[in-house]
Each structure stands twice: as C-alpha cells, then as structure tokens.
Structure 1
C-alpha cells in the first residue's frame, strides 16, 4: 500500500493541472514548471528542460509526454499512469459530455471566461520563459542560441523547423559549450532498463505495422488503428493531430460538421488537445459512445507513452557523457528559445486582443512572480475577470 502513496500524490497534482491548464501544449509546459519545479522541487530547471527536449524530439503530445515522464520518474509505472489519468481525465470527460450533447457549444468561442483563460496562459508562459532563461541561459553563447532559435521559429514556424533548430543547438553546444557538472542535471534515475525501453519502442513500431492489417476485421480495430497512427506520427504539438485524425474519421466515422465542431470545443477546455479523439470516439455511430471514447483515448495517447518511456533509458545513458552534456546545454538553451517564440505566437497573439487584455496579463504575471500565487489560482482569477469585463 505504501508504494501507492507517491502515485496518489502524482495523481492529485496532475488532476489539479488537468482542471486548470488552459492554453495549449506550450502553456501546459509553463503550468508544469510552476508546479513541479518551482512549487514542489521535483526537478531542477535543467532536469525539467531535458524532459521538454526529449518530448520535442519525439512524435506525440509533448505536454502529456512530459507529464507521463514526470510521473514515471517520481513514482515508477504507477506514477506514469497516475499522471496521465489525472491530467487527461477532466478534458476527456468534458469532451465525452460534449459529444453527447453538442447542440449549444457554438457559444463557447466568444465567451469572456475563455478570453480570461487565454490571458492567463500568456502570464504563465512568460513566467516559465523568464525562469528558464535565468537558470539555463547563463552566458552570451547560450543567449545567442536561445535568441537565434526564437528568431528562426518566428520566421519559419512548424514542427520541422523546431526539430532542426534544436538539432543545431545541440551541435553548437557540443562544439562550443563546456560540459556542465553532473550535479547540474538534476534528472532522477530512470526506473526503466534499456532492454525494457527497447521492447517498448518495438511495440510502438509493431502497432504501426499490425493495426492497419487488423483494421478491416472489426470496428474496434479500425478505431484503434485510426487513433494510434495519429498519436504515433504527429510532430509539433496537439494542433498537428487535426489532419491525421480527419483522415481516419471523416467521413467514414463522423461527419465533417461534427469533426469541426469537436475541434473547436477541444480548444476551449483544459488539458491535452489530444482528447479531441475522445470526442470523435464518442461521436462515431458504429459502437456505443462510451466504448468508442475509451478506445479512441487509449489509442491516441498510447504511442506517446511507449515512445517516451522507451526513449528515456537511452537518453539517460547518453546524457551521462561529457560531450553529450555539452550538447544538452545547447539544447536546453534552444528549448528556452522555442518557448520564447511560442510566447509570442500562438500564446500572445491568440490571447491578447487589446490594451485591456494586456493589462490583465501584466497583473497576472505580477501575481505569479511578485505575489507568488500558484498558477491554478491565477488561472481561476483570470477566468472570473474575463467573465466580468473582457
């Protein structure tokens, strides 16, 4: 029973994050940092940046993968499951309910409380960028790398540019930066052997090969194949999953109108955007809604979990080498630049519509930094302010 106590702690932490983390994948990483690094001290800034870097290189839902990895490192396999369930359950439950009664949610997009939540995301991501900059961008060379990545991604957005920019930072760090001391890494030991990691990666690859062969046999296999492929092949964040899910669901399983409406709703709820698959699984008509929602949710998240847990033991071995640690130092600076670019677009451009929104964002940032209020409290306050005046 005592072994379950850390997992329960992980579940409660991520359940609160799942209830309050609005704003998309980049904002989620800001909420994670506020909770896991600043408030609870589970990771150092460098250790947290490593998790973000691994997730950026892998396909799948980056923020959910960072959450699952955090749970794995904190409480083993039960912790991974607890982090995923806690962070995903609120969003999945809302999307399931919306799929069953979707007549009224065209009103969601213009709601004042939603505008307040978007403004809160600006403050949270700004705090994350400032904190990571102070910890990871400690000299001129790293500043050049961070600002160079930010400038490049503002001009050339997209998943390919992100991966390319981070690779350049890793190579630059390898050649130009001294290897940090091992004590600076701060990433806990990975409770997964390389043999198990290799097995998990093979299972993910086997799923991509075998599920298309099984799909014609039943509706269950077809639904699992559509969602598993989307989760395994998406790079660049939750929004990129849209065309992959559309290819698997429209028009065979859901109408185009239902698909577009569900995607709009997914952007208005907290937690991972990948729970759009929960909506689609519930909206299809070939099996009971609850059964379809469960299969679709498991299918879209499973590849990301397999890839993250399978990669971490190899990453840990690589990161122990001095040359690789220099590369990681450059990579961490690149992650700061990536978040800096994302702070402008889509977070700032999508959340600040004018001076009033900017004023609320500034006050929210002050509450997070000078006031030291927890992120969830600031999020709720911004939602209330948005409902009242925005």
Structure 2
C-alpha cells in the first residue's frame, strides 16, 4: 500500500515538474502549446501514442474553453489522476498568471531592446515548434492518400471559414470523411485506449455543475462583486470555442463595456499576454487584478479560476462517455478522419497566424529553420530550443 501511494505521489510530482517547465517556456499561443505537448509527452516521454494524442486534441477542439489547457488537464488526469490534472493546470498556468498580475500592479517587465529581441525570438520559435508537430503528426496520422486528402481538405475548410467555426467544421467534415472512406484502415496504435480515472457518475455531476452554474450565476449577479466577477469570467470561458484569442471579444464586453477596466488597460494587458508563455486565458488574472472594489490577488485568482472552470467541467463530463465511444469500429474510422483533419488545422495555423506574425525576413526564416533542425535532427527538448532561438532573436533584432 505504501509503495502504491509513493508511486502515485511520484507521478503527481512528475506531472507538476513537466508542466512547470512547459509553463515557463511554452510561447506562441494555443497551437504552439499543442506542439510543445506532443514533443514532450508523445515523442519524448511516450505517455501516449500519436493517435491517442490526436484523439484528445480533437475532443478538446470540439468543446468550449481553452483547448490547449484542456489537453494539458487531460494529460495530467490520464497520467496521475485528479491531483495530476490539478497539478498540470497549476504548473502550466501560474507562471504567466503571476507575471500578468505583477504587470497589472505596475511591474514593467517587458520593456527595453533586449526584451523586445527576446520577444521577437519567441515568436520565431513558435514556427519551429508548430512545424515540427505538423511534420511528426502528418507522418503518423496521414500515412495514406485518403487521410492526406482529408488533411488537405481541412486546410481549405479553415481558410474558407475563419475562426473557431472553421476549425470545428473541418473536424466534423474530417470525421464524416473518415466514416465513409477509412473503415478498412487499421493500425495498432489506433486501437490503444485512453484511460481516465473518471466514472460516469462523476461525469454526469460535472455536466450538471457546468449547466447549473451557467444558469444560476447570472441570476445571482449584482448581489456581490465577487459574484459579478465569477459570472462574467465563467460565461466568457463557457461560451467560447477554440480558446485563446477567441475569448477576447467576450472579455472586452464584460470588463470594458461594464466600466471595470479601461480600453487602454485592456489593450496593454493583451499586449503583455502575447509576450509571455502559457495560456492566453491567464489574461483574466490581469483583468481581475484591475477591477475596482477588488483590485487584489483575491479578485485576480477568482477571475482566473472562473474562466477555466467551465472548460474543465465539460471535459470531465464528456471523458467517461468518450472512452466508450471510441472503442466502436465505426467510431475508430470517424476518428481516423478527424485526426487527419487536426493535422490539416495545425498546418493551416502554421501559416496564419504563426508564420505570418513571426517570419518577416530572411534572418527570421533562418532562425526558425535552425529551431526546427534542433528539434527534429538533434532531438533537443523544446525548452532548450526556446532558449537558443530566443537568444537568436536578440542577435537579429533591428
């Protein structure tokens, strides 16, 4: 019994350390985060197979909330149970949340030419990370003409319909194409189950909590400032697909139009959030720290928890049924098509916004290629490549 407890504690500690390193080095936004996760947990640590990871990504893309954080939460849950999920979220989220709260309180940590050069390099490293992820996933998930064609169609779908609607549409269409065209395809890796320590009862409770809070919080708003904050950020997290930048209009409507935060403060914080690692949803901690009648660590923490909570409740609610669903033969065919579509979505995102925002000339291209080769040929861990390319950003900065 003691050995089993020690093993569980060791796994929780392993999850925390792995995600803390990622929380300190995962620059580039949600798509890049998925690349970092793949590099660390599929390629390096081998916690799960390529297809199982793609299944997880596809599921989280379907659900409202911060997709990359939901994937991280699910990885922690799968590896070390509920405490592993909590530690994965804390370790990945707290570094950027702390920096943004300090920024809200007046700590100017992102100024000067050296800082600007580092930020420039961090945008470039996201190109290398995402390119490496697309390349690796394409080899494993699009090994034949059919699935390569589905991935290409997904690129066109995302280009034709911008925003999260295009991503969800691409996955839906990819799943339908897989159901029609990939039933005869079989691969050992694709039969590997995803094991999550979540019962159906717990899943149902999570779904009831999600819906109950979504209905009750607006009714309770106005009774106390902390209820107003919880309601505003919970609804923002519950009603957005794709996460990241998609949540900004909702947050702007809640905190700027309500008069809690000025438009200048909102844009300044958003700019700071672009320059630090971790999920963009931690922008909520910055906004919470600025809210009048609050303006403290308590309101920052409340805003941070409230915006992440709905996505995690939905994920926990769906996981028990997802495990059963993906065991069916027709569901496996559907997921082959959906996984190929995920590769296409990442490929489209590699160009816009990752490439277009970072590669503005030949020096940036050379630096991104260096990062890609360090990952794919020299097999350096992602955090080491981040350091190298960030330093290169200082050298090439104008």
Fold-level similarity (TM above 0.5): yes
1:269-280 to 2 correspondences below 5 Å:
269-280=276-287
1:257 paired residue number? 264
Which residue number corresponds to residue 307 of structure 2?
300
Q: State the shift of 1:181 in Å.
A: 5.0
**Match of 1:216, SS?**
coil
| 1:30-51 Cα deviation digits (max 9, x unpaired) | 0000000001000100000011
CA contact (8 A) 1:266 1:276 kept: yes
Q: Does 1:315 align with 2:322?
A: yes
**Which deviations, in whole Å up to 9, do the C-alpha atoms of 1:80-104 show, x marking residues without a partner?**
1010001001000101100000667
Gaps of 5+ in 1: none
Matched, 1:210 2:213: no
Displacement after TM superposition at 1:151 (Å): 2.1
Structure 2: where are the runs of 5+ without partners?
none
**Pairwise mapping of residues 67-82 of structure 1 onto structure 2 (< 5 A)?**
67-82=72-87
5 Å-filtered alignment, 1:1-390, equals 1-2=5-6, 3-101=8-106, 105=110, 111-178=116-183, 180-181=186-187, 183-250=189-256, 251-390=258-397
Partners in 2 of 1:131 and 1:283 — Cα distance? 42
Cα deviation code 1:153-209 (max 9, x no counterpart): 123221111111111111111111125356524343121112211110111111110
Q: Distance in 2 between matches of 1:123 and 1:41?
A: 21
Q: How many residues align?
A: 390
The RMSD of aligned alpha carbons is 1.6
Could you tell me how far apart the structure 2 residues matched to 1:189 and 1:324 are? 17
Residue 274 of structure 1 aligns to a residue whose secondary structure is: helix
- In 2, are the aligned partners of 1:180 and 1:329 still within 8 Å (CA)? no
Structure 1 Cα separation of the partners of residues 113 and 20 of structure 2:
23
- Greater Cα offset, 174-183 or 123-132: 174-183
Q: 1:213 to 1:339 in 2, by over 3 A?
A: same
* TM-score, scaled to structure 1: 0.97
Query: What SS does the corresponding residue of 1:111 show, helix, strand or coil?
Result: helix
Structure 1 residue runs of 4+, over 4 Å off?
102-110
Tell me if structure 2 keeps the 8 A contact 1:109–1:264: no
Q: Is the 8 A contact 2:147 2:337 kept in 1?
A: yes
Give secondary structure in 2 for the equivalent of 1:259: helix
Cα separation, partners in 2 of 1:287 and 1:233, compared to 1, 3 Å: same
Q: How many Å separate the matches in 1 of 2:317 and 2:189?
A: 24
- Say which is worse superposed, 172-181 or 118-127, in terms of deviation: 172-181
How far, CA to CA, are the matches of 1:108 and 1:148 in structure 2?
42
Give TM-score scaled by structure 2 length: 0.95
Question: 1:197-236 CA deviation, whole Å, 9 max, x = no partner?
Answer: 1110111111110011111110000001111001111112
